[in-house]
A and B are shown apart, each in its own frame.
Chain A
Amino acid sequence: QVQLQESGPRLVKPSETLSLTCTVSGDSISTYFWSWIRQPPGKGLEWIGYIYYSGSTNFNPSLKSRASMSVDTSKYQFSLKLSSVTAADTAVYFCARMQLGYYFDHWGQGTLVTVSS
C-alpha cells in the first residue's frame, strides 16, 4: 500500500521560501505523476503543481512564478519550494499521487505551514 509523508518547517517568515519534501513508500516513484495541493484553514483545495519522475513539471498559473519542484528517485522523494511567501500562503500542504496524471488517488496526511514573523 503506497504511503506518502510530508516533512519540512512548519513556520516560515514572510518573504522567505517555503520548502517541503514528500517521501513515498510502498510503490515506485518512477511510474506516476506527483502533486502538491494546499488547503488554507477552513477553505477548499488548490492544486499547486505536479512533477513526473523524469523531472518535468507543471504549475498552477496563479503560483507558477513562485513555485518549483524537484524529484530524487533514489530517495523516493519529491519536493516543493514556494518563494516570497506571505500570510496568504498559510495552509495545510498535501502531497499526492496522481493516477494517469489526472486525479489524486493517494494522499499524504498533510502538514500545516504557517507564514508569520
Chain B
Amino acid sequence: EIVMTQSPATLSVSPGERATLSCRASQSVSSNLAWYQQKPGQAPRLLIYGASSRATGIPARFSGSGSGTEFTLAIDSLQSEDFAVYYCQQYNYWPMYTFGQGTRLEIK
C-alpha cells in the first residue's frame, strides 16, 4: 500500500507571506499527484493535478512541484481565505487512491 505522508501537521504563517507544504510518497508516484483544499464544513476542492497543473479557477498564487516521492505545494502572498486544511492524493497506483493525512494551515 502506498502511504502518503504530509508535513508539517500544522503550519502557522502570517497573511501576505509564503507557505510551503510537503507531501512524501512511500514509493514513487511519478507526477500522478493532486492537492486539495478543505475548509471547515465544506467538501475538498481540487487545486493541483499532475503535481503542477492548476485546476480550473485556481489562482496563480498556488503552485505545485515535485515528482517521484517528494512534492511541494506553495502558496504565495497568503490571503485570509487560504487558511484551511490541505491534502495530497496519489493516483499513480490506480485503481487504488490514497490521501495524505493533511496539513492544517493556520494564521500566525
Contact = CB atoms under 8 A, between A and B. Distances in A.
A50 B95 contact: yes
Contacts of B55: 105
Given A45-B87, A58-B95, A103 B102 contact: no
B34 A103 contact: yes
B45 A107 contact: yes
Given A99-B49, A101-B95, A110-B43, A44 B101 contact: yes
B44 interface: yes
What band does the interface of chain B fall in when counting residues whose beta carbon is under 8 Å from A? 20 to 34
A60 interface: yes
B96 interface: yes
What band does the interface of chain A fall in when counting residues whose beta carbon is under 8 Å from B? 20 to 34
B94 A44 contact: no
A103 B46 contact: yes
Contact of A103 (B43, B89, B96, B100): B89
**Majority DSSP secondary structure for residues of B touching A:** loop
17 contacts: A45-B44, A45-B99, A58-B95, A60-B96, A61-B96, A94-B44, A101-B94, A102-B34, A102-B91, A102-B94, A103-B34, A103-B46, A103-B91, A104-B36, A104-B46, A104-B89, A110-B43
Contacts of B32: 102
A62 B65 CA distance: 30
A44 B102 contact: yes
Interface string B2-43: 000000000000000000000000000000101010000011
